[in-house]
Chain A
Amino acid sequence: MKRVVITGAGTINALAHDVPGTLEAFREGRCGISELDIRDKDRLSIQIGGQVHNWDPEAHFNRQQIVLYDKFTQFTLLAAREAVSQSGLNFDGHLGYETGVVLGTAGGGVNTWDENYRAVYEEGKNRVHPFVVPKLMNNAAASHLSMEFNLKGPSFSVATACASSNHAMGMAFHMIRSGMVQAMLTGGSESMLCFGGIKAWEGLRVMSKDACRPFSLNRNGMVQGEGAAVFVFEEYEHARQRGAEILAEVAGFAMTSDAADIVMPSKQGAARAISGALRDARISGDSVGYINAHGTGTAANDKTECAAVADVFGPHADRLMISSTKSMHGHLIGGTGAVELLACIMALRDGLIAPTIGYEEPDPECALDVVPNTAREAKVDVALSNAFAFGGLNAVLALRRV
């Protein structure tokens, strides 16, 4: 089996339009959740979100590109340019045939759906722009990445709601580990902060009107975010031989299904995914220093997740750190695991643990070290990233310091 390492990272999210800015916000414990700036906001009961502000597509793309790129594709391309540039890889030659793209997104081009339904239903128009379908399809971002960087290997998109990015990165990991490809662009993207995208979530009554406070006793729900993160995963020897800077090793991955409920999480399903990732990486639980939690800030997720961690790690659960950066960038749904992987890389590389901000009151059902409100210095050898989706689909990645 091949070893797999990360040699490039890129992002855009509510905290910053790049990785250095995002890590700086993690260090400062800064909140990127703000008053939404979208059409028909007055008809929404939820008025906040982790929205990307000051987004100017014309600064990055030409007119012909913009008519083809939904916002989730735009975010993906921007993040991928940063990641590829950091990796130093060039895919124009043979490597292009041995590199593909696997990206997670739950909704794909939700803004494009929203705008065009509005045109035909609300405004009564009988004609839409010719590019509606190629803009909104879930694989649009993966396909545009393949075109931008000449990636001719296996490429596809994964939709498993809030676990999409982790499933995507897990697939990319497996494809390199098995020798199928040399490198992959992987991660995820989401952009559903539009009237229809938020209205749909309102219906479930799990959204907070004021803040995302994971693990805090007074937490009252999740806050949606938007953005993307993309990574270059590369076969270890390939990276070493070219002297690439290695950000972290992807050591293990596991996925499980609860087979139980379409929205309620399961402690057993989550625990099996966490212990499975450790087993896959051949890592003992005691060496895990940090877990980036799914930590949505809902009553159900946070207590179930803490119980699963306590079950898997036993007494070590009280020694490791677990934080949810959703408190800062919101829940990016299908893109969330990708942005959150940055906190794992920061823990391994910089020895700095991103905090859970907005933490106000301890919850006896979440009695772990959740790194409340302030970032912390700590040497970490192994970090996990949890994602537990609606539909009971769980995906956990294990990263190791190199």
Chain B
Amino acid sequence: MTVSVKDRVIAIIAEQAVLDPSDVKMDSTLESLGIDSLGLVESIFSIEEAFDISVPFNANEPTQSDFDISSVAAIVRAVEDLVAQKG
């Protein structure tokens, strides 16, 4: 059985936040998990490597990116979209 996109994204975020995956909720924000801007950039890199996708994200305008980082749920959705686009 393959692990879902959601579980893999949560595992990446949990590792960055040094938390147990069960402590990362879908409505958590990165800020609430203690992930700063450098941690965010590193998480995005891990996501790109894990799913072999390219995430459109510029740290200078994080909110203007097509990649929504406002919550864990938003990130999971954005990664699912990018994985689906990859086909």
Binding site for B on A (CB under 8 A): 203-208, 219-221, 261-264, 298-300
Contacts and interface: CB of A to CB of B under 8 A. Distances in A.
Nearest to B55: A205
Contacts of A206: 58-60
B19 interface: no
Contact of B59 (A204, A219, A262): A204
Contacts of B58: 205-208, 220-221
A232 B18 CA distance: 52
B60 A299 contact: yes
Interface stretch (B5-13, B22-30, B37-45): B37-45
A334 to B, nearest CB: 22
Contacts of A220: 58, 60-61
Interface residues of B, number: 10
Interface string B45-59: 100000000000111
Interface in B56-78: 57-61
A205 B44 contact: yes
B57 A205 contact: yes
Nearest to A298: B60
A204 B41 contact: yes
Contacts of B60: 206, 208, 219-221, 298-300
Nearest to B59: A205
A27 to B, nearest CB: 29
B12 to A, nearest CB: 16
A19 to B, nearest CB: 32
A299 to B, nearest CB: 4
B38 A263 contact: yes
Contacts of B37: 264, 300
Contact of B61 (A207, A264, A299): A299
Nearest to B45: A203
A212 to B, nearest CB: 11
A204 B44 CA distance: 11
A207 B59 CA distance: 9
A206 B61 CA distance: 9
A300 B41 CA distance: 15
A221 B58 CA distance: 8
9 contacts: A205-B57, A205-B58, A205-B59, A206-B59, A220-B61, A264-B38, A299-B60, A300-B37, A300-B60
A219 B37 CA distance: 17
A262 B41 CA distance: 14
A208 B58 CA distance: 8
B3 to A, nearest CB: 26
A258 to B, nearest CB: 15
Nearest to B56: A45
B55 to A, nearest CB: 9
Contacts of A221: 58-60
A156 B45 CA distance: 37
